[in-house]
Amino acid sequence: MIVDQLAGRLPGSGRAADLGHRRIIIVNAEKQRFTIRASASRLDKGLLAVPQKFRHLFPTERTQIYVVFDDGESVRTHTFQPFDPVVKESRILGLRQWFSRRGVNEGDLISITIENPTRLLYRIALDRFVLERQEQRARQGLRSARTDSEAEAQLAALSRLAKRRPREVAREELMRIAEQTVPRSRPTVLPRTAERHEVVPPSIRVLLRELHEGKCQICSFTFIKRNGEPYFQVHHLDASVGHHPSNLLVVCPNCHAQLEHAAVTDLRRAGPWLVGVAINGKHLSVRQPFAQDAHWRALLGLTILFAVLRASRLVVRW
């Protein structure tokens, strides 16, 4: 632990801070935190200015304090300049390297947590950076989940961090998976009886369920199982291709059986996304949330191309 790292390094007569200030955000029974906004003048000087109302949480004399950055564990020493009545602030000096490494910009929110006031130990964190790291870990946990419950927990964590509905996050994550991966051969597993294809990973299954609410993309049918979850199956448009989102459909058992055994023709797509299909000659629409995205991206590409061509003509005329 961080406190263990400080054992033997700090004097035993460290100055304890008054923890009773009512305007401080309480993190838990032991730690307190407040947030300040980075200003251009302080960034240029490589320092953080501590507002007057938080002065009681810091030493009253110039000294070295111990700082942990972001969500790390390494402890560093920095000079603390106590409250100056002229400028009406205290200052933590020597932060230029951290500002540069993290790409701190004017207006960024920076949190200061009092890890241990007696030991003069503080944590300085760029909120944007910490949030991105937390989202990245939750996203990695989602993709590596081995069960639906694990994937659900990571999706819920992503939703809380992004402060958005799970369905919106599921749509965004499926699009990210689609853009970051390419279709590949679908692996097979070898059970005792016969060869069969690998099932859809829990992460993608949970994202699909959240996005489509368990409803068939062709007929919108579903039913609620005894455990309260919607029943659905996942169909691979090409059984030999892997679990790329554009190769998957959420379907009911009836539509799934038709896609597997009936005459399936006239697959209509918007970009890589299926939007229509004919089953035994009957044309059916496929509810596809990503189709609109594909149309808008194509329109945006044409708009940009038109603008470039027009600009080129103007330059030639000039």
Q: How many domains does the chain divide into?
A: 3
Same-domain pairing of 55 and 152: no
Q: What is the pTM of this model?
A: 0.68
Same-domain pairing of 175 and 286: no
Residues 6+ apart with CB under 8 A from 44: none
Task: Give CA–CA dist 270/242, Å, rounded.
Answer: 20
Cα separation values, 77 from 16, 55, 95, 216, 245, Å: 18, 19, 11, 59, 49
- Asked if residue 203 is part of any domain, the answer here is yes
Task: Give CA–CA dist 314/173, Å, rounded.
Answer: 42
Specify the 3-state DSSP secondary structure of 196.
strand
pLDDT > 60? residue 291: yes
Same-domain pairing of 154 and 105: no
Same-domain pairing of 9 and 111: yes
Specify the 3-state DSSP secondary structure of 243.
coil
- Asked if residue 193 is part of any domain, the answer here is no
Residue 178 Cα to chain centre, angstroms:
16
Q: What is the pLDDT of residues 293-310, one digit of tens each?
A: 655 555 445 444 455 455
> Dihedral of CA 147/148/150/155: which sign?
positive
Q: What is the pLDDT of residues 125-176, one digit of tens each?
A: 999 999 999 999 999 999 999 999 999 999 999 999 999 999 999 999 999 9
Q: What are phi and psi of 170, to 5 degrees?
A: -60, -40
Burial of 190: CB neighbours in 10 Å, binned 0-12, 13-18, 19+: exposed
- Asked if residue 61 is part of any domain, the answer here is yes
- Asked if residue 107 is part of any domain, the answer here is yes
| Band of pLDDT at residue 122, cut at 50, 70 and 90 | very high
- Asked if residue 113 is part of any domain, the answer here is yes
Task: Give CA–CA dist 163/166, Å, rounded.
Answer: 9
- Asked if residue 309 is part of any domain, the answer here is yes
Cα separation values, 269 from 46, 173, 283, 296, Å: 54, 21, 13, 14
The domain of 169 spans 144-179+198-212
